[in-house]
Chain A
Amino acid sequence: MSLDKNDVERIAHLARLQIDEADKPEYATNLSNILDFVEQLGTVDTENVDPMAHPSDATQRLREDVVTETNQRERFQKIAPQVENGLYLVPKVIE
C-alpha cells in the first residue's frame, strides 16, 4: 500500500489533524511502511473466524437508569480553554 501526499492530507483531514507541509512526505513514507507491514495479516485464512473485540467477550453491563453524577460544571470548566456563563466558547459555527 503506497500512500502519497494527497492521501496523507485526506486522512489528516478525517482525523482533524494539521500536518506541516514539510512533514507530509515523511508521513506518507512511514504510513505506507506501516500499512505494508500489517499486510501480513492477509496471509492467514480467517474464513469462519469470529472477530474478537474484547478479551473476555463480555457484554456491556447494564445499570438502573438513575442519575449517578452530581453537577460539577464549575470544577470541570475551570480547566477549559475558554468559557463564558457556564458555556464552552468556540469560533462562530452558524453565520
Chain B
Amino acid sequence: MMHSKTIAELAAGLQKRDFSSEELTRATLERIEQHDGSLNSFITVSGELALEQARLADQRLAKGEGSALTGIPVAQKDIFCTDGVLTSCGSRMLENFIAPYNATVVERMNAAGAVMVGKTNMDEFAMGSSNETSYYGAVRNPWNTAAVPGGSSGGSAAAVAARLVPAATGTDTGGSIRQPASLCGITGLKPTYGRVSRYGMIAYASSLDQGGPLAQTAEDAAILLNAMAGFDERDSTSVDTPVPDYTAGLGNDLGGLRIGLPKEYFSQGLDDGVAGVIDMAIGEYKKLGAEVVEISLPNSPLAVPAYYVVAPAECSSNLSRFDGVRFGHRCEAPKDLEDLYKRSRGEGFGAEVKRRIMIGTYALSAGYYDAYYLKAQKVRRLISEDFRQAFDKVDVIMGPTAPTVAFNLGEKADDPITMYLSDIYTIAVNLAGLPGISIPAGFVKDMPVGLQIIGNYFEEARLLNAAHRFQQTTDWHKQTPPGFE
C-alpha cells in the first residue's frame, strides 16, 4: 500500500530502488484521479510536469544524489506561485493567472527534488475557516463528506488525510494550517513568522502570513521544513538565522519538559468531547516525563477581535493590486477606468473577500485609524506579552487546536462571526508570530481532534520533538478515513 506510506518510508523505498519516483508519481496521480471526485481537494493536477520532475528525480537517485524529499510527490497550496501552472488562490480573480515565476517555497522544494503533482483547493485568498469560500467549490472532509475540512488550507489537509499525497504545503494567517490539520486528523506546522519565505506566496495579511507543511507525521513535517525554511532576501521580513536540521532532535527525551496549559483555552466554547481528548493527550505527555503547569494568557479573548481589524486592514491594502489592468480578471467593456476597477474587482472577488476588504478599508479610513487599527495593534502587543511571560515559566504551551471537530458544510457559512470563532485558539499565535503545530490526538464521534503545541520563537525543533515522541507512543496519526485506506 504505497499511498499510505510516510515520506520517511517512501524515501527509504526510493533509495533502495524498491520503486522509482516515476512509478510512485504515476500511482499518486491515479489515486488522485480515482478519489478526488468526492473531495475536490485539487484545483489543478499537473500530471505531465510531475512525471517530468519524477524522471529527473530518478536520475538523481540513480547517482546516489538528492535529499529525503527527492522523488516524493507533494501538492502545493494554490496560493504559491508556480511558474507556468495556474495559480488561482481559490479566486475567480486569478482564474486565468499562469504565474510567471516560482514562489521561494516552490523553488526550494523543487531544488530538494520533490515532485509537484498539483495545486490544492483553498478558501479564496486564504480567507475562510471551512474552505467554502473557494470559487472552485467547497472541499469535503474525507472523514465525513458532509463535513468541512477546515480552512483555508482545506484542500491540502483533505488530500493528505485521504492519502492522496504524502504531504502538501499550506499557509497560516490565523490558523489556516493548524485548524484544517486538526479537523482532518493530520500533522500541520505553522513556523515562526519569518522562518519560511513569503516571496511568491500571494499575500493576505503580510504581518501574519506564514507558510508551512502538512503531513501524516511530525517526522515528515521536519523533513519538509528542512527544505522550506531559510533566509530569502526577496522577502523583506525573512529572518536571517541558521536553519537547524529539524530531524536531528526528534528522538530527544521529554523528561522535565514544562508544559503550560492556558486556562483560557479550556473554558468558553470548548466542546466537552474535545476537552476529554486533550486531557488524555496531556496525560500521555505526563507519562513521557513532562511536567504540567497551569498558566494564563489573560488577553487571549481579544485575539479574534484584534485579528479581524489587523488582517482585514492588511488585506484591503494587499488586494488593491488586483485591478484588472496587469493580470487577473477584467470585466467586459468598461466604460471608464473607475468602472474597470470596480466591476473587475466586484466580479473577481467573492463575498467573504469583499467583506474583509471593506472592513479593512473602513478601519483604515480617515477618522477611524486610531480607534481600530492602532487600537488593534496595541492589543496585539498585549497578547504577545502574555506569551512572552508564559515562556518564562514553561517550554511549550498545549491546548486544543479548534473548539470543536469538523462542522457540516453550510452550518456556519451564513454567519461570519461564528465562523471566525472556530480559530479562537490559533489566532493569537499568529498575532505574536510564534510557531505552532497541530497533531492528531483522538476522535469525537468518529471525527478527528487535534492537539495544538505552541513554542517560543524559532523553537520548531522542540515542537517537532514533542510531536514525534507523542506519535511514537500513540497511533492516532495512523488512522485513515474509511474508504481511503
Contact (A11, B361) CB under 8 Å given A55-B432, A79-B100, A88-B326: yes
A30 touches B362 (CB 8 A): no
B326 touches A80 (CB 8 A): yes
Contact (A15, B100) CB under 8 Å given A34-B416, A55-B194, A93-B337: no
The chain B residue with its CB closest to the CB of A13 is B342
Choice from A20, A41, A54, A61 contacting B309 with Cβ under 8 Å: A41
A18 touches B433 (CB 8 A): no
A51 touches B342 (CB 8 A): no
- Shortest B382–chain A CB gap in Å is 6
B182 at the interface (CB under 8 A from A): no
B290 at the interface (CB under 8 A from A): no
B380 at the interface (CB under 8 A from A): yes
B361 touches A53 (CB 8 A): no
Choice from A35, A58, A93 contacting B237 with Cβ under 8 Å: A58
- A interface majority secondary structure: loop
A80 contacts which chain B residues (CB < 8 A)?
A: 325-327
B345 contacts which chain A residues (CB < 8 A)?
A: 15-18
B153 at the interface (CB under 8 A from A): no
B242-278 interface (Cβ within 8 A of A): none
Q: Contact size class for B? A: 35 or more
B355 touches A40 (CB 8 A): no
A91 at the interface (CB under 8 A from B): yes
B382 contacts which chain A residues (CB < 8 A)?
A: 44, 46, 49
B289 at the interface (CB under 8 A from A): no
Q: Mark A31-63, 1 if CB is under 8 A from B, else 0.
A: 101110111111010100111111110101101
The chain B residue with its CB closest to the CB of A59 is B236
- Shortest A15–chain B CB gap in Å is 4
Q: Mark B414-445, 1 if CB is under 8 A from A, else 0.
A: 00110010000000000111100000000000
Choice from B236, B330, B433 contacting A56 with Cβ under 8 Å: B433
B207 touches A55 (CB 8 A): yes
A90 touches B358 (CB 8 A): no
A53 CA / B376 CA spacing, docked (Å)? 10
B96 touches A34 (CB 8 A): no
A33 touches B416 (CB 8 A): yes
The chain A residue with its CB closest to the CB of B362 is A11
A22 at the interface (CB under 8 A from B): no
A39 CA / B309 CA spacing, docked (Å)? 10
B361 touches A38 (CB 8 A): no
A71 at the interface (CB under 8 A from B): no
B159 at the interface (CB under 8 A from A): no
B80 contacts which chain A residues (CB < 8 A)?
A: none
Contact (A56, B362) CB under 8 Å given A16-B341, A18-B342: no
B194 touches A17 (CB 8 A): no
B308 at the interface (CB under 8 A from A): yes
A15 touches B357 (CB 8 A): yes
A60 CA / B206 CA spacing, docked (Å)? 14
Contact (A56, B355) CB under 8 Å given A16-B342, A79-B100: no
Choice from A14, A34, A50, A78 contacting B417 with Cβ under 8 Å: A34
> Lowest 8 CB-CB distances: which A-B pairs, in order?
A55-B433, A18-B346, A51-B377, A81-B330, A46-B378, A52-B381, A18-B342, A16-B341
Q: What would 11 A/B residue contacts be, using CB atoms closer than 8 Å? A: A18-B343, A23-B351, A30-B416, A44-B382, A49-B378, A51-B381, A56-B194, A61-B233, A61-B236, A63-B233, A91-B335
